[in-house]
Homo-oligomer: A and B are copies of this chain.
């Protein structure tokens, strides 16, 4: 079974795809607008968009000939949560080590 975090972190491990996410946090955009700043063929760019959509990071709607891409905030929040949890556990360990060092130091003085 492929985990949501697998798909998510894999999706944002590419600079083109991160640039698309950075653009979409400012609001939905048409595929042509998203593609414009990227020096690559449209089919290649569409594959990147597909990876983002498959990872649940974006969804798209079509009106006439224009496809508009929207960001989905929930997976971003879930990934941030994982990272924040790891950092807090790590910092908690540093705090405990520091407290232990302080106790040992005081014990040495007594």
A contact set with B: CB distance below 8 Å: 3, 5-10, 12-15, 18, 21-22, 25-27, 71, 73, 76-77, 79-80, 82-84, 86-87, 89-90, 93
Contact = CB atoms under 8 A, between A and B. Distances in A.
Given A5-B18, A13-B10, A26 B93 contact: yes
Nearest to A9: B13
B90 A71 contact: yes
Given A5-B18, A82-B18, A84-B80, A89 B25 contact: yes
**How many copies altogether?**
2
> What does DSSP make chain A's interface, helix, strand, loop or mixed?
helix
20 contacts: A5-B12, A5-B13, A5-B18, A6-B15, A7-B13, A8-B13, A9-B12, A9-B13, A10-B10, A10-B13, A25-B86, A25-B89, A26-B89, A27-B93, A73-B87, A76-B83, A76-B90, A77-B87, A80-B87, A83-B83
